[in-house]
Amino acid sequence: MTNRRASFPPKSPRRAAGLLAGLALGVAVLTGCSSSEGVSTNCGLDGCTVTFDRGANAETSILGVEAKLIGAQGDQVTVEVAGEQLTLTSGQPATEVGGLSVTLDSVTAEQVAIRVAQNSG
């Protein structure tokens, strides 16, 4: 077995392309979410969880689209994602809009949490 020292920059085009793709993905994840007061986002490789304070008039930019809470009553929530109003209910399958799937994660007296992810197909 031989020991080779890693060289930087990578010598092969395939390794260089892989490195650049990884860096680009990391930057996209870090810059894919921005929020105003009254909303928090938690973004990962598979999408973002957005938590709105129920009383706040807040919106956020995630995965290249705007999302905001319109209203909540019981376990039913109305949000606007990518310019379209969606009514979500706890436990329902994901609603698709603008190449994204949107689900209602939780509703409490204080907060509403939705999950926004890119469609896999």
The CATH number that applies at residue 45 is 2.60.98
24 in a structural domain: no
d(CA 32, CA 44): 9
pLDDT digits (tens, 9 = 90+) for 5-60: 655 555 665 554 454 444 344 444 444 455 567 899 999 988 999 999 988 788 99
Spatial CA neighbour of 76 closest among 85, 64, 89, 66: 89
51 in a structural domain: yes
18 in a structural domain: no
Mean pLDDT of the chain: 80
15 in a structural domain: no
27 in a structural domain: no
The percent of residues in the chain predicted with pLDDT above 90, rounded, is 54
| pLDDT tier at 120, thresholds 50, 70, 90 | confident
14 in a structural domain: no
Q: State yes or no: cis peptide before 13, omega within 30 of 0.
A: no
Number of domains in the chain: 1
State both tokens at 11: 């010598």
Q: Are 69 and 76 in contact (CB under 8 A)?
A: no
Mean pLDDT for 56-65 is: 89
Q: How many CB atoms lie within 10 A of CB 45?
A: 9
Which comes out higher in pLDDT, residue 61 or 21? 61
76 in a structural domain: yes
What Å distances lie between residue 106 and 81, 102, 109, CA to CA? 17, 12, 10
Domain that holds residue 41: 34-118
CA dihedral 61, 67, 70, 73 (to 10 degrees): -120
Q: How many CB atoms lie within 10 A of CB 48?
A: 21
Model pTM?
A: 0.70
93 in a structural domain: yes
